[in-house]
Amino acid sequence: MRDQKIAYIDLSTGEVRTGLIPEKMRRMYLGGRGIDVYLLYNHVPPGCDPLGEANVLTVSAGLLGGTPAPSSGRCHLGAKSPLTGLIGSSNMGGFFAPELRFAGFDHLVITGAAEKPVYLWIRDGDIRILDASHLWGKDTSETPAAIRTELGDEDVKVACIGVAGEKLVRFANVLTGLKNSAGRTGMGCVMGSKKLKAIAVRGTQSLPVSKPQEAFDYLKRFTDMIQDHPIFKVFSKRGTLMFQDDSDMIGRVRNRNFQFNQVPDGRSLYSENTERFSLGMAACFGCPIHCRHRYVVPEGPGRGTYVEGPEWSTLGALAAEVDCRRMEAALVGNYLVNKYGLDSLEAGSMISWAMELYEKGIIDDKTTDGLKLEWGSEAAVYEMIRRIAEREGLGDILAEGPLRAIEKLGEESRYYNIHVKGMSSLHTDERPTPPMALGIATSTRGADHLRSRPGVDANLLPPDVRDKLFGFATPNIDTYEGGGKLIWWHELMYVISDALGTCKFHPLFMSPSTLTFEDYANLAGWIAGLELSSEEMVDIAERIYTLERMFNNREGATRADDTLPERFFVEPTPLGLGSFQGATIDRQKFEDMLDEYYQAHGWDKEGVPTVETLARLGLDKEPSRII
């Protein structure tokens, strides 16, 4: 296995030192999200200010990043979140992580804070801290263009923040390329607090493959399987927007914040409506699917600009939630949040919350400085995106995220804010699907669909096929019994994907033709030379997720935080087909499901890992500070 290199960069002193990742640590955490949580637990002082110099920012490629492994372009960023005060964890695709490995590094640990704006320049084993004063104030497309010109190399890959990160919006993102964003939990805000405008990388080093023939034979079978799958044929044409179609039809999307679970006359937001704007499809590193649209902004702010996207989550957040029913609105909104460097889910949810408060008279024209925050007002959405990024007026309040904004706007506003652990909830409605509701409640980073969400396609399989796929008797997604174990299994599968640096769509959204723990173990051996069994893969996943839980427990999180907004329990879904209409979450059944979930992980009734679990996973001596 190739030596895995880590760099420690102190922006306060300018010191850079490097080291190697011991194989023992690879066997325990793989890479990416796994190594990151170990570094955070060992280097972030408990109780530290997320915007202070003591917070640590990690940037990591997965164990398989940049290799022939399928879609191995994912990059993971971690820190203590300025949005939630808990584990900060975000993931983005594109080409940055492979380039980081080609440049000789697998992990970056960034500490301290610079006195003036800087950017990192990493090239073939060398790391320099360069002045970025001339880049401060530039957006996320201007910044990489300026860096490439300055460095004289158009192949430099750049991860950067926009104005939102500079102004410490607590849900500012980090963006690489035209749309690949580490959006959730405010990693762009952490970069801004450190005066770190960007990280630029360029590498020419090779990545050896341990067993080329075995790897090639498997990858050929896998690629053929993917390209023959019926979902691929739609996915490669419409991208993640395809999920809007059936989700809206049955009634599991958010509309007008949380008032409706279907968009009235919402067919205009179905994926077929992107085809007239699409210039073709683009892909991340090593991906056979090509799931994102390329298009030119059709109107309004940014008209004529070439961009990529949007994802389904952005469509939901900036169109369905705020009741904008034109596809053009989602395309313009996608451009704006990426330009400023904002998490689209958080931005859309905060704006839709403000719109409901405005509708109900909890805030008024004085609060909005005269802006009419009316449902469906595209101009209001565009303006609020700008105001949040620039921290102007009401935008300055919304830029603080749910927990702090509620305090500023008053107790009456709390009921209408849809968040978990301080992170805004999804563009979807989980009241009809209890296991999915549990998944957003228990996610270590706050309300989330990329930590444990079961693939709906798997739920449609015959029970015997589904049980064989998961390895245990699995429930339907509209029932409670067995939901805890279902979410546990998906958490483990997702965390392995993040630790290896591969895309989640392969193991979870192309059932039954999916990757398994055994497949991932084979890939780790054939490509990276790390021989592991499928059982060891499961243990690694448990170890990573449990250490994330330990981080949160250390910061004060308890069972009480693994819950849902009150509206899930008391407001029935007004629309939808069959059981999707009239649904609420039953409190007692939810608590029973939570007990089952804790038991599957080996945690006690309060969600604290037991002494036996810590010993079994080798976490009883943490923090161990090996790296």
The answer, yes or no, to whether residue 443 has pLDDT greater than 80, is: yes
The arithmetic mean of pLDDT across residues 162-178, rounded, is 98
Mean pLDDT across 17-45: 97
Query: Where residue 223 falls among pLDDT bands split at 50, 70, 90?
Result: confident
Residues 473 and 358 in one domain: no
> Are residues 418 and 535 both part of a single domain?
no
Residue whose token pair is 């077929």: 272
Tell me, yes or no, whether 394 and 455 share the same domain: no
Q: How much is the average pLDDT of 458-487?
A: 80
Query: For position 513, what pLDDT does the model report?
Result: 57
Residue 212 counted as domain residue = no
Contacts of 26 (CB under 8 A, 6+ apart): 1, 4, 63, 528, 530
Residue-level pLDDT at 457:
55
Residue 457: inside a domain: yes
User: Are both 443 and 395 inside the same structural domain?
Assistant: no
| Tokens of residue 191, six digits | 């970069």
Q: Are residues 367 and 469 in the same domain?
A: no
pTM, whole model, 2 decimals?
0.96
Q: Is 428 left (phi over 0), alpha (psi -120 to 50) or beta?
A: beta
Q: Tell me what pLDDT residue 478 has.
A: 87
- Assess whether pLDDT exceeds 80 at residue 136: yes
Q: CATH number for the domain including 575?
A: 1.10.599.10
Question: Given 424, 444, 471, which residue is the final one in a domain?
Answer: 424
Q: How high is the pLDDT of residue 244?
A: 93
Residue 544 lies in a domain: yes
- Beta-carbon count within 10 A of 224 CB: 11
The neighbour count for residue 412, using CB atoms within 10 Å, is 13
CATH number, position 177:
3.60.9.10
Among the candidates 424, 453, 487, a domain finishes at: 424
pLDDT digit string, tens, across residues 507-528: 665 555 577 899 999 999 999 9
Q: What is the DSSP string of 457-483?
A: HHHTS-HHHHHHHHTS----TT--TTH
Statement to judge: residues 470 and 586 lie in one domain: yes
* pLDDT value of residue 468: 74
The structure tokens 């910044």 sit at: 143
Residue 230 has pLDDT above 80, yes or no: no
Please determine, for residue 376, whether its predicted confidence score (pLDDT) is greater than 70: yes
Instruction: Please tell me whether residues 25 and 153 are part of one structural domain.
Output: yes
Q: Find residue 38's DSSP bridge partners.
A: none
Task: Specify if 192 maps to a domain.
Answer: yes
Alpha-carbon dihedral sign for residues 154, 157, 162, 166: negative
Residues above pLDDT 70, as percent of the chain: 97
Alpha helices in 341-377 (DSSP H): 344-359
Residues 336 and 468 in one domain: no
- The mean per-residue pLDDT over the stretch 337-345 comes to 98
Give me the sign of the Cα torsion angle 372, 378, 384, 390. negative
Q: Which domain holds residue 35?
A: 5-202
Is residue 136 located within the same domain as residue 246?
no
Read off the pLDDT band of 78 (50, 70, 90). very high
pLDDT for position 496: 96
How confident is the model over 178-215, as pLDDT tens digits? Answer: 999 999 999 999 999 999 999 999 999 999 999 999 99
| Same domain for 271 and 238 | yes
User: pLDDT averaged over the chain?
Assistant: 94
Please indicate, yes or no, if residue 21 is contained in any of the structural domains: yes
Side-chain-side CA neighbours of 501 within 13 Å: the count stands at: 39
Same domain, 378 and 478: no
| 505 pLDDT tier (thresholds 50, 70, 90) | confident
Task: Flag whether 627 is in a domain.
Answer: no
Supply the pLDDT for residue 507.
61
**Mean pLDDT value across residues 130-136:** 98
Q: Which percentage of the chain shows pLDDT scores above 90? A: 86
**Separation of alpha carbons 136 and 377, rounded Å:** 31
How many domains are contained in the chain? 3
